[in-house]
Structure 1
Amino acid sequence: MSRLRKEITSCSYSVVKTMSGRSIATCFRLIVHFKHKHENVRQIITKPFGGSMMNFQQLLQARRSVNQFDPNATISRDDLESMIESATLAPSSYNLQHWRFLVVDDKEQKLKLKKAAFHQQKVEDASAAIVILGNLQAHKDAERIADDLTEKGYLPAQYKENVINQIEGLYSNESMQRDEAIRGSSLAAMALMLAAKEKGYGSCPMIGFDPQLVRQEFNIPEHLIPVMMITIGTDLDPEMPRKIRFAVEEVTTYNGF
């Protein structure tokens, strides 16, 4: 254990020093590899960071889309629910929280999902696959949302009915229902991947699946649409340079085109 402590502590210091996404990813592979054997690995790695795993920039640098997962690794339900709780902090229009999460962590159920995902092996090998669902009926929570706004002082009581009417009017349009379901749940999906990385897990967002087959196999209600799937587990991808990222000046325009 002393050798492990030395390696991980040295690794975490190197991350802080270099701020290299490649180094961060390497460190996390080392951490996760030993974490199931040594419960106090997390305590070791947090000390050099002043009590937190990573700052936000380091977290962004470390997150990659993982294609190879350790098929023998598992994720506890506590960890999964902690990640989902973090994901629910994502923003949404009127705070309607359009996201729902279908967690698939049973081996047989993952095989069903793998079939719907055109037999992609990472679906089976990941510790869990989470189908991100968008709620087409989120606007039906308008009164609950308005009550919360009023109770917490965000909205004067006399305006509560106005807000409810605004929500119901806006979401009477089916295109808006679908667009917002996709937008809102996608924001939650990004938060989920960052939450997974903060806990030392790799993840991969996927749109390569048959949504109707997923709906059929998992009895998904009609008002919930499969937006994407996120596989989560122990990262076994080889260390590689980060793929190209377009420069800020290529993707940014100020005050018009």
Structure 2
Amino acid sequence: MDVFEAIEKRRSVKNFDPNHTIPRQQIDKILSAAILSPTSYNIQNWRFITITNKDLQSKIRQASWNQAQVTDASVVVILCADLVAWKKNPARYWKNAPQEVRDYLVPAIIKSYEGQDQFQRDEAIRSCGMAAQTIMLAAKAMDYDSCPMIGFDPKQVAKLINLPDDHMIAMMITIGKALKPAAPRGGQLPLDEVVVIDHF
């Protein structure tokens, strides 16, 4: 399946086969694609918590307003971000770059993020958003379906996964085998309503 076909066929599916299991190797293949997603300064601040334990999925379902896709999906991926990834040995993000590149970028990372709490959160959401789309397209290319979710109590879910204090949850994605197709698209706006050429 090429990328344009995956984009076209990716839909938010909520009815999954609860008996289907995705092998760990295939979950890792999806996440191996996700870590190629871009992040500012290559800080790779996303963290992917994969939930396949049915007891834990049940608890997360209760924190997700009892949405069935949380327990019926083969895996729940909770996309989190380390808000202070920028200061955790930032030289490692450019370890393969020439020395002059490292000498420039590593101090620039610290200068950009230090003391900028809102910017750290903005970057977390941007990074996780780009990774989320990669995850959903990779899943679709492997003939799985997915559903991005923000319908949950982040504080409750954070407790269930022992989220560190310096991390935040951006969203969840459920992945599995669809029991039935998604409903028809609700109605995409035409390009001339959403594309602005040069300026408003």
TM-score by length of 1: 0.74
**Cα deviation digits, residues 55-81 of structure 1 (max 9, x gap):** 111111110000110111111111101
Equivalent position SS for 2:170: strand
**3-state DSSP class of the match of 1:148?**
coil
Specify which structure has the bigger relative contact order, considering alpha-carbon pairs within 8 angstroms and separated by 6 or more residues.
2
Corresponding residue of 2:128: 185
Q: Cα distance 1:193–1:71, how it changes in 2: closer, same or farther (>3 A)?
A: same
Percent identity of paired positions between Structure 1 and Structure 2: 38
Residue 82 (structure 1) aligned with residue 24 (structure 2): no
Paired residues of 2:47 and 2:81 also in contact (CA < 8 A): yes
In structure 2, the partner of 1:4 is none
CA RMSD across the alignment: 1.3
SS in 1 for 2:95: helix
- On the 8 A contact 2:12/2:182 being kept in 1, the answer is no
CA distance 1:90–1:239, change in 2 (3 Å) = closer
Measured in 2, the distance between the counterparts of 1:67 and 1:113 equals 15
Alpha-carbon distance, 1:199 to partner: 0.8
The aligned counterpart of 1:29 is none
Look up the match of 2:59: 112
Query: Take 1:168 and 1:212, find their aligned partners in 2: how far apart are those partners?
Result: 29
Structure 1 consecutive aligned stretches of length 4 or more whose deviation exceeds 2 Å: 157-162, 237-243
Q: What residue in structure 1 maps to residue 149 of structure 2?
A: 206
The answer to whether structure 1 residue 146 and structure 2 residue 94 are counterparts is yes
* Structure 2 segments unaligned to the other structure (5+ residues): none
One of 60, 78, 87 as aligned partner of 2:7: 60
Distance in 1 of aligned mates of 2:93 and 2:181: 46
Residue 134 in structure 1 maps to residue 76 in structure 2: no
Structure 1, gaps ≥5 residues long: 1-53, 151-156
Shift of residue 239, structure 1, vs aligned partner = 5.8
The count of corresponding residues between Structure 1 and Structure 2 is 198
For residues 127 and 160 of structure 1, the distance between their equivalents in structure 2, rounded to whole angstroms, comes to 41
Shift of residue 174 of structure 1? 1.0
Q: CA deviation at 1:124?
A: 0.7
Larger radius of gyration: 1
